[in-house]
Amino acid sequence: MKRILLSEATNGRNNNFNLIRIIAALAVLVSHSYPIARGPGTPDLLSPTLGVTLGEVAVDVFFITSGFLVTSSLASRQSTVEFVWARFLRIFPGLWAMLLITVFLLGPALSSIPMAEYFSAQETYGYLARCGSLITGISYQLPGVFDRNPLPRAVNGSLWTMPYELKMYLMLALVWLASRMATTNRRRLFDAAIVTLAMLAAIFVSSITSARSHRGNSRISSTCSSSAPARSF
């Protein structure tokens, strides 16, 4: 059997990355539906047993796949300027189009306050400016929108990942520029730095997940222990 390198399998689009991202996106929708429909703190399919939500697993899948593809994009372009421009085109045109539809069409249609009050509220344009720039984080509320939901006034909470993606793009570009300063073995230095950062990130995420799972199991054990006398009667 012919051995296929990972770099060869990822050339082009015939590699199931789109399928992986679609499955992860659907998993995020399923996970978010629990707190949106039933209120904050409602566990989803995985959290009672694993200590992490289905959405958190899906976001990790997104970050891993995106990191792999984005790093490959930078390595093939060999240009920081082209990489930054490609990332800009990948994120901001679609983000701005979505925000315009959300703020000026869906927002007033779903708001519980009069349209004139909605469009005169500073919060409306603060949401547009903050989410459109991603520099100072994300806003999650529009005036009167979803204020009667079990999870009130949460508008497109999935945007929380976007500032982190921008920071990772910047870090990747800086690592690339730093490796270009070396006189020899530039690509090996870049590859070594990326592998090291990926391993550190994996250790960090694993430690957080393990700690959360341990706390969750401790709470479950404590609850069972405290309820045991009541059941004996």
Helix 54-77 vs helix 161-180: angle between axes, to the nearest 10 degrees? 30
Q: Is the pLDDT of residue 53 over 70?
A: yes
What share of residues in the chain are helix, strand, coil (percent, to 5)? 75, 0, 25
pLDDT for 143 equals: 95
With H, G, I as helix, E, B as strand and everything else as coil, classify residue 14.
Answer: coil
Q: What is the pLDDT of residues 127-143, one digit of tens each?
A: 999 999 998 889 999 99
Q: What is the pLDDT of residues 183-197, one digit of tens each?
A: 777 778 887 888 888
User: Please, which pLDDT band fits residue 200 given cuts at 50, 70 and 90?
Assistant: confident
Q: How far apart are CA 125 and CA 119, in angstroms?
A: 8
Q: What is the pLDDT of residues 163-178, one digit of tens each?
A: 988 988 888 888 888 8
Q: Is the pLDDT of residue 97 over 70?
A: yes
User: Please, which pLDDT band fits residue 231 given cuts at 50, 70 and 90?
Assistant: very low
Please tell me the pTM assigned to this model. Answer: 0.76
Token couple for 196:
């090291």
The least confident of 38-42, 61-65, 85-89, 225-229 is: 225-229
pLDDT for 225 equals: 35
Average pLDDT over residues 142-169: 90
Q: Is the pLDDT of residue 56 over 80?
A: yes
* Cβ burial, residue 190 (10 Å; 0-12/13-18/19+): buried
* Closest CA relative to residue 43, chosen from 162, 180, 51: 51
- 171 vs 100, more confident: 100
The least confident of 51-55, 94-98, 142-146, 204-208 is: 204-208
The least confident of 9-13, 40-44, 166-170, 191-195 is: 9-13
Distances (CA, A) of 147 to 108, 117, 128, 155: 13, 15, 18, 10
Distances (CA, A) of 52 to 36, 109, 124, 215: 17, 35, 33, 11
Average pLDDT over residues 108-134: 94
pLDDT for 168 equals: 86
pLDDT for 142 equals: 95
